[in-house]
Amino acid sequence: MRLSFLQQAAPWLAQAVDDLETATLLAPSRPYAACFYAQQAAEKAVKVIYVANDLDFPWTHSVHQLLVEAAEAYPELLPLADGAGVLDRYYVGTRYPDVRLNSTEPPSAAYSATEASRAVELAHGILQVCQNIYGHMALRANGRGEIIWYFAYGSNLDREQMDRRLKRAIPAAKPAYLSGYRLAFNKLSGKDGTGKANVMPAAGQRVWGGVYPLNTEDLKKLDRNETGYNRESGRVICPDGARETDVDCVFYVAQPDKTREGLKPSADYLDRVLRGMEMLPEGPRREATAMILQAAGLPPE
């Protein structure tokens, strides 16, 4: 079966994420290599947009050129053009001594950890915007059956955790809320006896979280991780400025025999859930934070 263009773009996105992680690891000790990997991460991230739209990208490694041409359709990329130009210097200059005229230093001695950290920061900004564009494209594809939307409300809002569980890079979650439910930390952890996140029916309440675009293989992997939960289908609301979009999705609810009253989340788990809500706009983030602290039996901030 032929892959959709969104599916063909997914390996490009995964490699961009991996290149950026490599750049981050190398920045303190091998800044020249970190600068190169940062350029590679940005280049592949922008090419995600071309592949997902079934467009032939220019035959170039220039992040600036790729980005400016893609910005004709996605103007949110244009403010990143100057940073892309900085990263372009690292494609050749970090590898070949003859690029730096009248210099006796090899590339391995020519770059600082500070410069590498800046390169990582620039690449991260480009990757983040491209991930969001990809996520919005997947949202529009929902009606064509290419994407299954998964609503996360607990620690799975941590995208690094999701990447590890799915063994691939996925786009950022899109803010959403589930109406008619409340958050609870009453799912018994089989490892340490603490409480894990759960949603329970509650008229007039809602649970904030985010929706990820997944495929059937992703859901099989999640099913294996979400032990003690049942996967259910429902509908969430995705706010987009003044508009709201209904999105059919799946989410996980704790099995009744795996719940207990009086459970508390561990400090580490609670911190991950709170950090996951940082992707929400300010108003919903405040509401979600209050919801989480109340469910954990803690005073509001």
| Residue 174 binned pLDDT confidence (cut-offs 50, 70, 90) | confident
Residues 226-246 have pLDDT tens digits of 999 999 999 999 886 667 778
Q: Are residues 100 and 198 in the same domain?
A: no
Last residue of a domain, one of 123, 143, 163: 143
Predicted pLDDT of residue 184: 97
Predicted pLDDT of residue 182: 96
Q: Are residues 164 and 229 in the same domain?
A: yes
C-beta separation of 223 from 188 below 8 A: no
Q: Are residues 128 and 189 in the same domain?
A: no
pLDDT reading at 217 higher than 90? no
Predicted pLDDT of residue 143: 45
CA distance 35 to 123: 9
The pLDDT > 90 percentage for the chain reads: 62
Predicted pLDDT of residue 140: 62
Does 163 fall in a domain? Answer: yes
Q: Are residues 95 and 190 in the same domain?
A: no
Q: Are residues 67 and 205 in the same domain?
A: no
Domain tally, the chain: 2
> What's the CATH number where 32 sits?
1.20.120.330
Q: Are residues 29 and 10 in the same domain?
A: yes
Cβ-proximal residues to 143 (8 Å cutoff; 6+ apart), any chain: none
Cβ-proximal residues to 120 (8 Å cutoff; 6+ apart), any chain: 20, 23, 24, 27, 34, 38
Which residue did the predictor score with more confidence, 30 or 58? Answer: 30
Predicted pLDDT of residue 242: 62
For residue 201, the tally of other CB atoms under 10 A from its CB is 9
> What's the CATH number where 198 sits?
3.10.490.10
Q: Are residues 108 and 227 in the same domain?
A: no
Residue-number span of the structural domain to which 124 is assigned: 5-143
Predicted pLDDT of residue 214: 84
Does 84 fall in a domain? Answer: yes
| Residue 155 binned pLDDT confidence (cut-offs 50, 70, 90) | very high
CA distance 55 to 60: 14
C-beta separation of 193 from 170 below 8 A: no
Which residue did the predictor score with more confidence, 146 or 38? Answer: 38
Residues 104-141 have pLDDT tens digits of 789 899 999 999 999 999 999 999 889 888 877 775 66
Q: Are residues 15 and 125 in the same domain?
A: yes
Does 85 fall in a domain? Answer: yes
Q: What is the mean pLDDT of residues 67-96?
A: 93
∠ Cα 84 38 275 (to 5°): 100
Last residue of a domain, one of 143, 171, 206: 143
Q: Are residues 153 and 139 in the same domain?
A: no
The pLDDT > 70 percentage for the chain reads: 94
Q: Are residues 128 and 203 in the same domain?
A: no
DSSP string, the chain: -PPPHHHHHHHHHHHHHHHHHHHHHHTTT-HHHHHHHHHHHHHHHHHHHHHHTT-PPPS---HHHHHHHHTTT-GGGGGGHHHHHHHHHHHHHTT-GGGSTT--S-GGGS--HHHHHHHHHHHHHHHHHHHHHHHHHHHHGGGGTS-EEEEE-SGGG-HHHHHHHHTS--PPPEEEEEEEEEEEEEEEPTTTS-EEEEEEEEEEEEEEEEEEEE-HHHHHHHHHHSTTEEEEEEEEEEEETTEEEEEEEEEEEE-GGGB-TT----HHHHHHHHHHGGGS-HHHHHHHHHHHHHHTT----
Closest CA to 212 of 229, 230, 236: 236
Does 11 fall in a domain? Answer: yes
pLDDT reading at 92 higher than 50? yes
Global pTM reads: 0.59
Last residue of a domain, one of 143, 168, 192: 143
Q: Are residues 211 and 254 in the same domain?
A: yes
Predicted pLDDT of residue 20: 92
